[in-house]
Amino acid sequence: MALAFLSSHDVFGFRFLLLLTVMYGLLSLLSHSVIYMKFITPLPHDAPVDQFSEARAIEHVRILSEGIDGRQVGRPGLKKASEYIMGQLEVIKDRASSNLRVEIEENSVSGSFNMLFLGHNIALGYRNHTNIVMRISSLDAKDTEPSVLINGHFDSPLGSPGAADCGSCVASMLEIARLIVDSGWVPYRPVIFLFNGAEELFMLGAHGFMKTHKWRDTIGAFINVEASGTGGPDLVCQSGPTSWPSDVYAEAAKYPMANSAAQDVFPVIPGDTDYRIFSEDYGNIPGLDIIFLLGGYFYHTSYDTIDTLIPGSIQARGENLFSIIKTFTNSPKLKNTYLTNSTEVTANTFNNERAVFFDYLSWFMIFYSRRVANILHSTPIFVFLVMSFMCGRSHSWSATLFDFGKGFLFHAVETILAIVVPVAFSILRLQFSTQTMNWFAHPCLAFVMFIPASLVGLLIPRSIQRDFPLSQDAAIVKTSKEALSDEARFWGAFGFYAIFTLAYLVSGLSGGFITLIMSVSMLPAWISFSLSVKFVGRRTLRSTISYILPLIPCVAYAVYFGGFLAQFVIEKMGMMGSLPPPYGYYVPDVIVAALIGILTGWCVGPLMPICGRWLARPSILQFLVHFSVFSLAISSQFFPYAVSAPKRVVFQHTVRTTGSSEVMEATYDFSVTDSNAIPFLFKHAPEVAKELNVTSDFSIESILVSQRRDWMAIFPVSFLFSNSVKFSTSKDDILKQYEYFPKLSVQHPYSNKGPRRVHLELHLGSLEEIWVTVLNITGPLSNWSFADNVLPGTETYGGGPQSYICRLSGPSDSNWTFWLEANSSEAIRVDMAVLNQKLVGPATRLKGLFPDWVDVTAYSSFMSSYLF
């Protein structure tokens, strides 16, 4: 029963709002089922041998992540993992039929090169990293036959079991290799599996393969398999350098999960994959970068376990990969790519322009070339201009165009306010809250908090200006004002999306399909509405429904894509870095509020020209504002973190040494990777605070601040930190555990001839599980023995002078030896940090005091400085 103070129009408006809520709710449930692989049935362990089985792959993941203790570089588990993979490949080889040739190699790779990573110049030196390579081909295949490479890494990040990253990749590759052998399929072209053992240290294994392996020049196409989460859509994040790989994917993928817009945003996401080594830095090979993206809460944490893998994800990945591999190997273009790699000219083989592609709810794939995009993406703006002429009468064409322009501005203002209003609400909320990111462990809360506020922004212009300011005279054109207003609002909104579609095209980006779908879908909706008006009238529910129904496919895609994007961003906000106060405190909420505002505008915007009349009522606006305030107030009662969405803490036991056996200082350094800073951590982890003698009045200003240069061992990730703290601790435990510390020494005296060259030897002391050694070199350095005697760009690190950064990794019984060359008599300074993965007893106990909603990445950093 309607409340007495509501008019009949208000009651209808609320009913219509409820109808839309139900519609969007159902579409959200559909999208959720697709995103979380509910439509995939994982095959059991006893599935037929000619089918990919997730259960069989999971057994590999179980052994790699649970049966082996740590696959980090420098730990014994990495060697055990390589032995396990070799053993499994040998079993597969033994099962191969007589019409297959199966070759297996285990290679030790070493080298050095320069790289730009996360916007920072860095040199990388490595030795004795393990790559395992398997080649499956027909008996008559030649060694120079063009081949397809599938790459995945078996090392894991610091402190993580690496079940998804990238145990799932290795498991998928092992199951596919078995499937090739057991299914009786003989590849038309060779298939090469590269299990590389050093990706987490900045793509070293892939570099070693591309620089040294005998099959590197035979690669005609590649698929890089990665994980930035524990499952969900196995998204094609990068494709190139030609349009052919994405064309193959569109043709072959059984469960397509790709869109070219990902290539527009991937370069701004912190991180990188082996894709750049094969396709950009050390090869020009066409390929696909396929990555698990959801479950990012557990990425690079101790919670990346087999229990957090999203069921169905590996099954979909495996079935897709097997089909794509078949299509690649059968493609006549594969040989042409190989000939291109062998320096034969095939300039017209591929179109080097980026294609446009996207999946529709993983049901099917739409793919078209850039040439077709030039036509398709220009069509909406052409339609907009033509319709402004056709709708205008001979005496009022300019007035019609002017009205369409006003409709464009109205829709633009609505869209902008849909972003601004939730951002303003988020900032206002934080004025009364002691913590940010309350939505982090509760993603649905973010939608409840910000969608009503975004709807307020969408409706404000319509509620203020209920009567559209027409330039046309309804009496002259013999059309009602309502019809002219609807026409102006509709074509204005259509023109808004048409302009964005064209802008995407002109800028060279590939995400224009998003607004193209919107503008194209609006046309049948308008036709349906116009026909309905003739029979049932303009201001009826039936005519409005007739407008909505043709838009449902567009809205469903918007909800699917938008929901996935929002979930991905929310999960990643826990590792995007902590910015300095006061503004850093607001950044995560502002980003999420703005994103949900954009997505709300995208999902609801096409409905607004016709449906806005029912919703832009003062009572509905008042309700939405009250609901927004209430949800924002309630949100403050939600704790930001949980075991299923842990807070990330970096705990570094810093040991400053001099010589090989003396400790100058030892500290516990802490940093966080989101905007709830260290005081928040100690407030909610009282046992840790008690152990460190932190009182209730703790503040950053009252404690020793850990400078960026103190975190040199994890450069350049350390640039994500701010307001880190440190506490002095005892040196005795370090001295008891280690007899010798890392040390740099002069290998032999300087030569008086030519430039001053310092030959150095790096002793790593008694450390047992070394992940990486970082050198920060300042002074008159003119050359060195790394990276083919090429210096990288300089860095200004920790407020110091211009310097060169070099990272060294890899196991060996011998010491590192290298030389530095100076162009003057001024001393060269070398600051060194050695990251050891072992902790001494007290540090281990301290780590164990953190609550289970905190994931602690802990290690020891041995730092020393030298002048030469």
Whole-model pTM: value is 0.93
pLDDT of residue 765: 93
With cut-offs at 50, 70 and 90, classify the pLDDT of residue 268.
confident
pLDDT of residue 331: 93
Residue 812 has pLDDT above 90, yes or no: no
Contact criterion met (CB below 8 Å) for 70 and 156: yes
Residue 515 has pLDDT above 70, yes or no: yes
pLDDT of residue 705: 87
What beta strand segments (E) does 204-346 contain? 219-227, 231-240, 287-294
Number of C-beta neighbours around residue 45 at 10 A? 11
Give the chain's mean pLDDT: 92
> For residue 278, which of 170, 354, 353, 194 has the smallest C-alpha distance?
194
Q: Give the Cα separation of 320 and 316 in Å (integer).
A: 6
Is the Cα torsion angle 849, 852, 854, 859 positive or negative in sign?
positive
Residue 763 has pLDDT above 60, yes or no: yes
Contact criterion met (CB below 8 Å) for 575 and 674: yes
As a whole number, mean pLDDT of residues 337-351 equals: 46
Which residues make beta-bridge pairs with 636?
A: none
Residue 349 has pLDDT above 50, yes or no: no
Which residue type, as a one-letter code, is found at position 528? S
Residue 307 has pLDDT above 90, yes or no: yes
pLDDT of residue 475: 62
Edge-first strand order for the sheet with 781-784 is 743-748, 756-763, 816-822, 781-784
Contact criterion met (CB below 8 Å) for 291 and 271: no
Which residues make beta-bridge pairs with 744?
A: 762
Residue 260 has pLDDT above 50, yes or no: yes
* Residue 786, Cβ density class (10 Å: 0-12 exposed, 13-18 middle, ≥19 buried): buried
> For residue 638, which of 397, 424, 449 has the smallest C-alpha distance?
449
As a whole number, mean pLDDT of residues 564-586 equals: 91
Q: Token pair 């950053």 is at which residue?
A: 700
pLDDT tens column, 370-398: 899 999 999 999 999 888 887 765 457 78
As a whole number, mean pLDDT of residues 188-208 equals: 96
Which pair of tokens denotes residue 12? 């209808």
Residue 789 has pLDDT above 90, yes or no: yes
With cut-offs at 50, 70 and 90, classify the pLDDT of residue 338.
very low
Q: CA of 474: how far to CAs of 11, 477, 487, 699, in Å?
A: 30, 5, 12, 67
With cut-offs at 50, 70 and 90, classify the pLDDT of residue 336.
low
Residue 79 has pLDDT above 50, yes or no: yes
DSSP alpha helix (H) spans, 537-660: 541-548, 552-572, 587-604, 608-615, 618-635
pLDDT tens column, 519-560: 999 999 999 999 999 888 888 889 999 999 999 999 999 999
Q: How many CA atoms lie within 13 A of 598 on its CB side?
A: 13
Torsion of CA 421, 427, 428, 429, to 10 degrees: 110
As a whole number, mean pLDDT of residues 418-443 equals: 94
pLDDT of residue 695: 85
Q: Would you give the distance in Å from CA 451 to the centre of its chain?
A: 24
As a whole number, mean pLDDT of residues 790-797 equals: 90
What beta strand segments (E) does 228-355 contain? 231-240, 287-294
Contacts of 247 (CB under 8 A, 6+ apart): 355, 367
DSSP alpha helix (H) spans, 539-586: 541-548, 552-572
Contacts of 657 (CB under 8 A, 6+ apart): 663, 664, 741, 742, 743, 862, 863, 864
pLDDT greater at residue 569 or residue 510: 569
pLDDT tens column, 795-807: 887 677 889 999 9
Which pair of tokens denotes residue 790? 């090429």
pLDDT of residue 1: 40
Residue 348 has pLDDT above 60, yes or no: no
Q: Give the Cα separation of 204 and 568 in Å (integer).
A: 27
pLDDT tens column, 206-230: 999 999 999 999 999 999 999 999 9
As a whole number, mean pLDDT of residues 228-234 equals: 94
Residue 420 has pLDDT above 50, yes or no: yes
Which residue type, as a one-letter code, is found at position 449? M
Residue 351 has pLDDT above 70, yes or no: no
Contacts of 840 (CB under 8 A, 6+ apart): 653, 733, 734, 736, 737, 860
* Residue 92, Cβ density class (10 Å: 0-12 exposed, 13-18 middle, ≥19 buried): buried
pLDDT tens column, 122-141: 999 999 999 999 999 999 99
Q: Percent of the chain beyond pLDDT 70?
A: 95
Which pair of tokens denotes residue 620? 């509905």
pLDDT tens column, 270-279: 778 999 999 9
pLDDT tens column, 840-855: 999 999 999 999 999 9
3-state SS class at 88: helix
Cis peptide before 241 (omega within 30 of 0): yes
Q: How many helices (H) and strands (E) does the chain have?
A: 26, 22
As a whole number, mean pLDDT of residues 473-482 equals: 71
Residue 11 has pLDDT above 50, yes or no: yes
